[in-house]
Structure 1
Amino acid sequence: MSRFFTYQLNLLLLAVSFFTRMPVPQGIDYSPQKLRQAGRHFALIGWLLAGILSGFYLLVTPYIGTAPSICLLVILSLLLTGALHEDGLADTCDGFWGGHTQARKLSIMKDSQIGTYGTCALITMLLTKTVLLYALAINGHLILALFIAYPLSRGLAISHTQHLAYARTDAQDSKSQSLANPMQPRVLLWLFASSSAGLLWLPFTDALMILLACLSLRYVLKRWFRAHIGGYTGDCLGFAQQVQELLIYILLLATVHDAYGHTPLGPISL
């Protein structure tokens, strides 16, 4: 049993080192196979990030107020992840809308330079996310939203490896290729449980509505990725995580009660 937990801890630390910029202890046992297995703990990275961001928000808000705290929280999130998922969002938008063939789209997505589509997507996403988080914060549900959206959006994103093929032929040059294998049923069960546990804080009907909406979006994204490039890349997973996160915030704003028991949420005063 001790050996099992030691092995899973090593996988979790590999996931932390791959999906964030947070420091991890030296001497982690790495191999492509272990990194592939570490994908099962992607949702736990969401829990870790939600905990750090929640603590930061609770610490600084009494001193600088809600709006500045939300802005700093978004910046901190980018620093903790190295803007990994935001980079995927921008590259996917550039590739899918800037290329006319599958090969050209994949080539654009691999280019380190950002184009108009990616820039517009990043600006729109960051602005929308900041506004949604502020709306959730002033109604007392920011921390709840973080602990639901961060794990669930990451679990849904990594689950695309189950049903889509890896789109690149030069897979050896991609760091995301190590994740490009279907998961065993017991691993999928763990991924689902660790991703959706935050929904237990919501009434059953609200939790079910959010889960069904997110699964519907996952289906749409799966078909969209397949139509454009015949599968997925790491950039697509980043895109999926970002749009799923925004969807969850919107659904929470539409369903949860504010601090005074009213729903849907009323006007926001600055």
Structure 2
Amino acid sequence: MTLFNHHEKTLFYTALMFYTRIRVPVNTPYSEDLLAESRKYFTSIGLVIGAIACTTFLFFQLFLPLSISVMLSMISTVLATGAFHEDGFADSCDGFGGGWNANQVLTIMKDSRIGTYGTVALIGILSVKFGLLYELATISPAAWCLCTLSAHTVSRQHSSRVIEHHQYVQDIDKSKVKPIANKPLTHAANLFSNWVALAPCLLLALYSIEAVIIGMVSAYWASKILIQYSAKRIGGYTGDVLGAIQQVTEVLFLLVCVALI
């Protein structure tokens, strides 16, 4: 199967290396072309991160309260990704909240320091995420895991979709996201990515098909509104905007799950 040939392994390791802090074989080659092509596995990385969250939660809930187990699962995903998407969300809030024009917004986004807008927004979204995950934990461990896996894959697919259909904005400095933005995926690669995102949702549909449908539609429209706002303010998207889209759509999907399951 092509999924397991040497090139595909290299693409998966490249995606793992870029989107997470998980170690990959030291002899893994790197190039901008490989990085662009590795976006095929962005939703697969969502499965990996979701699996880390599920494993952590299932282990600790055996002997700790649900609230602590949920908190530790959240910490495990932040450690696994290096707060990759959370950082983008916070920077986007700082940039759009504090900048008056496109240049100011981009300059603030590139600042390594976090400001008031980013701090408040990050505390807010993590608090909401904790509350949603805790409510799901009271339903059943299986429902918690399926909702978590689905939220991680669906949210990453919407970030990937933005790259396919919208304009990348050159940052003040050369962005590490630029190689990904410069090369669209093939039809086959997009199809693979979509099916990976859909896989946990099909299992989640056994609990509530309404939650899956409304969750996916809500995430789609949220990503559409966010990218339209970004395009209006700065002419397109940056890597930070992609992180913000991932975080918002993940939380929104979980919100729908809590409401309907």
With structure 1 as the length reference, what TM-score do the two structures score?
0.90
Is residue 132 from structure 1 mapped to residue 132 from structure 2 by the alignment?
A: yes
Out of 5-14 and 206-215, give the one that drifted further: 206-215
> Which of 221, 233, 248 does residue 216 from structure 1 map onto?
221
Partner of 1:154: 156
Farther-moved stretch of structure 1 (215-224 vs 126-135): 215-224
Q: Which residue of 1 aligns with 2:242?
A: 237
Provide the rounded CA distance (Å) in 2 between the counterparts of 1:57 and 1:128. 18
In structure 2, distance between residues paired with 1:37 and 1:147: 23
Distance 2:221 2:259 in 1: 17
Show structure 1 runs of 4+ deviating over 4 A: 1-4
CA distance in 2, matches of 1:169, 1:248: 30
- Give the Cα–Cα distance (whole angstroms) in 2 for the partners of residues 242 and 198 of structure 1: 18
Could you say which residue in structure 1 is the equivalent of 2:38? 38
2:60 is paired with a residue whose SS is helix
Question: Residues 47 and 2 (structure 1 numbering): CA distance in 2 closer, same or farther, change over 3 Å?
Answer: closer
Pick closer, same or farther for the CA change 1:186–1:134 going to 2, 3 Å.
Answer: same
Per the TM alignment, residue 30 of structure 1 is displaced from its structure 2 partner at its CA by 0.8
One-letter code aligned to 1:182: P
Offset of 1:82 from its aligned partner?
0.3
Cα RMSD over matched residues? Answer: 1.5
CA distance in 1, matches of 2:67, 2:109: 34
Distance verdict in 2 for CA 1:54–1:4, change over 3 Å: closer
Summarize deviations over 1:37-62 as a string: whole Å, max 9, x none: 11110000011111122111111111
State which of 162, 165, 178 in structure 2 corresponds to 1:163.
Answer: 165
Which whole-Å CA distance do the structure 2 matches of 1:231 and 1:221 have between them? 10
1:174, CA displacement in angstroms? 1.1
Counterpart residue number, 1:175:
176
Q: Give me the whole-angstrom Cα distance separating, in 2, the residues matched to 1:2 and 1:252.
A: 35
> What is the TM-score of this pair, normalised by structure 2?
0.93
Q: CA deviation at 1:228?
A: 1.2
Q: Alignment identity in percent?
A: 34
Structure 2 unaligned runs (5+)? Answer: none
Q: Relative to 1, partners in 2 of residues 1:164 and 1:2: Cα closer, same or farther, differing over 3 Å?
A: closer
1:185-238 CA distance string (max 9 Å, x none): 222222211112211121444322222222111221221110111111110010
What is the match of residue 49 of structure 1? 49
Give the superposition deviation at 1:21: 0.6
Q: Secondary structure at the match of 2:61?
A: helix
- Matched residues, number: 255
